Structure 1
Amino acid sequence: MSFKIAIIGAGSVGFTKKLFTDILCVPEFKDIEFALTDVSEHNLGMIKAILDRIVEANNLPTRVTATTDRRKALEGARYIISCVRVGGLEAYADDIRIPLKYGIDQCVGDTICAGGILYGQRNIPVILDFCRDIREVADAGAKFLNYANPMAMNTWAAIEYGKVDTVGLCHGVQHGAEQIAEVLGAKSAKELDYVCSGINHQTWFIDLRLNGRPIGKDELIAAFEAHPVFSKQEKLRIDVLKRFGVYSTESNGHLSEYLPWYRKRPDEIARWIDMSDWIHGETGGYLRYSTETRNWFETEYPQFLEAASKPIDPARRSNEHASHILEALETNRVYRGHFNVKNEGVITNLPQDAIIESPGFVDRFGINMAAGITLPEACAATCMSSINVQRMSVHAAIAGDIDLLKLAVLHDPLVGAVSTPEEVWQMVDEMVVAQAAWLPQYAQAVPAAKERLSKSKIKTRDWAGAARRSVRSIEELRAEKATLKQVG
């Protein structure tokens, strides 16, 4: 087989390498072309060198090109994969920093809440540019695989306004299944059969079977509470499991910022999070992790390049959906996974226009979703709160409507639990002004926002958050890795 895959945001070096090696684990895909594109020529050069080294070490005919000219990369592409972060870590830092001034403490801030909504405002105009280029220069019927957050908003915009065949992909379901398998004593997640459905980052294991045996709420609670690690790291998730009756796919820290109950007071945050790793609820945890990862990669790049000389091992192929979807579409080997698509009857008690994440099957006829799923009422209600925020956020981003944007942020569950309407209006003004370089649709609104900020009497605070850690230096990271190696 010979076709072209374009990867937008290929400068996300580690993730691009994983996608690349996964795809090349499919025997029929050795002779394809990867076209890499990114706004950072520096990052693009690094990832191309790594992928070229992999091709050379494995004696493959695979072709790798790299360009900052996105349209050139997309020309004739059958598949387009996006893993962009518009505004980079600079804008992301504002997604965390500014809401903290108004008492809003986020762990990740890339899905909803104040940070995720503004992230969507930056991404959606760019996503629509991608879609225009796909329609104009990509292969007829090209498929757009979106890995970028905020997943639901990006996918919603691409389908509804970009008019491109789009599927959103995430790995939260797989990670949740791996946890469940471990607490139940399974050898691997392959022993589990499950229906996991909802919206991205709020998917729910509504049917769970281990080797064919149904697993009920009480058994699952007991298994998690008995686990020596997860019982401490996933306190919030376990509490939601007890109250809702089903387990959520999302991590302790991520889940905490989609709900109005656990992060609204600093003393409550301390009760529910765990500081053993960023993902369990640390303030700005993913921002710190991303910053450290970038610094580490820049410093240790020669080691990453050397590691690329190892042979590709198909047994180490990851459970990221992309390679499995492409394999199913091209070879007709059926793949079952969880995909972000427009609802249209898949989940009976969520809106038809919402982007849902639910089970589906892929073969040469495309992605075919299992329809007619009904969520438990509490799960549907929680998803509905986010869907309403997502819908308003997408519409605001398309129209450049700052008033609608403020209403979207006001209706966010955690924001509404913490901030007054006056504070929300000022916070959005401040975020739009700070991120104006990445928000072209709000250019006309920026002068008035600046004027309002200059006259505001609303007090803010200089607050690092309830559980903030400093970015570690390269020396500290090296020392930690050395210690872990000795312990291991």
Structure 2
Amino acid sequence: MPKITFIGAGSTVFARNLMGDILSFPELSESTLVLYDINAERLKTSEIVAHKLAESLGAKPRIIATTDRVQALEGADYAINMIQVAGYKPGTVLDFEIPKKYGLRQTIADTLGIGGIMRGLRTIPVLLEMSHEMERLCPDVLHLNYVNPMAMNTWALLKATRTKTVGLCHSVQGTAEQLAQDIEVPIEEINYLCAGINHMAFYLRFERNGEDLYPKIRAFLESGKTAYRGHGGGVQLADKVRYEMFRRLGYFVTESSEHFSEYTPYFIKRDRPDLIERFGIPLDEYIRRCEEQIAGWEHLREELEQNTHPLPVHRSHEYGSLIIHSQETGTPRVVYGNVLNHGLIENLPEGCCVEVPCLVDKNGIQPTRIGSLPPQLAALMQTNINVQSLVVEAVLTGKREHVYHAAMLDPHTAAELDLDQIWSLVDELLAAHGDWIPEPLRSKPVMRS
């Protein structure tokens, strides 16, 4: 039975979903689950949850909880990564509050934009360190990376280490399910082909039994029903941004409207509050979600730890357990993974990180060649790839000037700030991050006149 290590297992809700998915497969029910986290208190909760899940499913895994990373990784067959470097405080708060002083507002700030850039700068070095440990402690491990900024992290890991890594997200299958609800077609009857970059992949085909379903999606757009989409906690978020981009581009994007509004220069403008209102853009949305989660954590912990009833298990739509099951049993499946672009998408840069369908079986992760994307989609993706590539370059070379370059080329940042403001913002953010940023990037470059 495989040894499956959860890195950042104190992310209890996410770990719970993945553990439940894994243990629900009879072939994986006696796996060794190693839960690793630097937060012993949260780790304890996840360990209790693991035992309760096993009890609910009648599974008999070996469960180990440890704050020792070497012990967690040694001999692992699979490593599932879900860390958040610098946490909500100081990390996320800095990413929102300092840009706000410059009039630069964000929604999620974990994938692109100035917030995504900073998250990448503090996260990539930690992931590289872990990956180099995997090279030594578990050289054959498959590293399943769920950590954002997905494209930047996965690109750096695959470029700079020998560890087999695939980046996993739920935006492709999650958005497909949302679209199925919008057009009232059962998701089980839909097949689709999707490709691009993480959070900016597009459905090239969306069909039922050979019938193109895009006309139904257009009809839904014209019906005016795109105003609201439910979110956890009873909050209603507008989904107008994605439908507006569908109207303009002809293809539907995978990531949510609140995310997508900050990947482009069109929607969040400090001198256009009417756009914020018209498209229902929830500024500071990730801050709200984090504070809601923190406020509910104690209640959640008590519920998980003290509830004597079996924990209900509902299979999630995450790919992690499917990949492990397919590699262990040979059952072929198609998942969407983030991998390097070696001839997969012809009109995106060679070697960048792309999200494409991948066949998984005992041969591992096998990406599908797509060919060329519609040119307008590739051009829009390129604006995001520019930023991703410069952040990766900054970390791998230690050249701080590339952090400024990444911010200069970020679509949303460049639409709001001039060059002096961008330079000043980067300086202030790097200074505020302190030791969370590696030493070479903390030294200011000499400006050439």
Which TM bucket (shorter chain)? over 0.9
Shift of 1:444: 4.8
Q: Aligned runs of 1:324-473 on 2, under 5 Å?
A: 324-442=322-440, 444-445=442-443
Aligned length: 437
Distance 1:377 1:330, change over 3 A: same
State the SS of the aligned residue for 1:325. helix
Name the counterpart of 1:102. 102
Distance 1:298 1:311, change over 3 A: closer
Distance 1:185 1:357, change over 3 A: same
State the SS of the aligned residue for 2:266. coil
Does 2:226 correspond to 1:221?
no
Name the counterpart of 2:149. 150
Query: 2: CA distance between counterparts of 1:308 and 1:435?
Result: 43
What residue ranges of structure 2 are gaps of 5+ in the alignment?
230-237
Q: Aligned runs of 1:58-137 on 2, under 5 Å?
A: 58-90=57-89, 91-137=91-137
Query: 2: CA distance between counterparts of 1:438 and 1:298?
Result: 27
TM-score under structure 1 length normalisation:
0.86
Shift of 1:57: 4.3
Query: 2: CA distance between counterparts of 1:212 and 1:181?
Result: 16
Name the counterpart of 1:262. 267
Shift of 1:62: 0.5
Shift of 1:13: 0.8
Shift of 1:317: 1.1
Q: Aligned runs of 1:309-328 on 2, under 5 Å?
A: 309-310=309-310, 313=313, 316-328=314-326
Query: 1: CA distance between counterparts of 2:333 and 2:227?
Result: 30
Query: 2: CA distance between counterparts of 1:83 and 1:261?
Result: 31
Does 2:159 correspond to 1:160?
yes
Shift of 1:288: 1.5
Distance 1:307 1:172, change over 3 A: farther
Which whole-Å deviations, capped at 9, do the CAs of 1:147-202 have from their partners, x for residues lacking one?
00000011011110122111000000112101211122113x12111111110000
Aligned AA for 1:200?
A: N
What residue ranges of structure 1 are gaps of 5+ in the alignment?
275-280, 453-488
Query: 2: CA distance between counterparts of 1:352 and 1:261?
Result: 28
Name the counterpart of 1:296. 296
Q: Is the 8 A contact 2:55 2:310 kept in 1?
A: no
Q: Is the 8 A contact 1:199 1:357 kept in 2?
A: yes
Query: 2: CA distance between counterparts of 1:350 and 1:268?
Result: 34
Q: Could you list the structure 1 runs, at least 4 aligned residues long, displaced by more than 4 angstroms after superposition.
A: 229-232, 306-309
Name the counterpart of 2:245. 240
Aligned AA for 1:273?
A: F
Distance 1:173 1:15, change over 3 A: same
State the SS of the aligned residue for 1:395. helix
Aligned AA for 2:282?
A: E
Query: 2: CA distance between counterparts of 1:308 and 1:199?
Result: 44
Query: 1: CA distance between counterparts of 2:48 and 2:10?
Result: 12
Which of 69-78 and 261-270 deviates more? 261-270
Compute the RMSD of aligned alpha carbons. 2.0
Shift of 1:367: 1.4
Name the counterpart of 1:468. none
Does 2:24 correspond to 1:18?
no
Q: Is the 8 A contact 2:206 2:213 kept in 1?
A: yes
Shift of 1:373: 3.0
Query: 2: CA distance between counterparts of 1:419 and 1:284?
Result: 18
Does 2:210 correspond to 1:212?
yes
Q: Is the 8 A contact 1:32 1:63 kept in 2?
A: yes
State the SS of the aligned residue for 1:374. coil
Aligned AA for 1:78?
A: D
Query: 2: CA distance between counterparts of 1:338 and 1:227?
Result: 31
Query: 1: CA distance between counterparts of 2:266 and 2:226?
Result: 24
Give the counterpart of 1:251 among 256, 269, 274: 256
Distance 1:230 1:78, change over 3 A: farther
Aligned AA for 1:411?
A: L
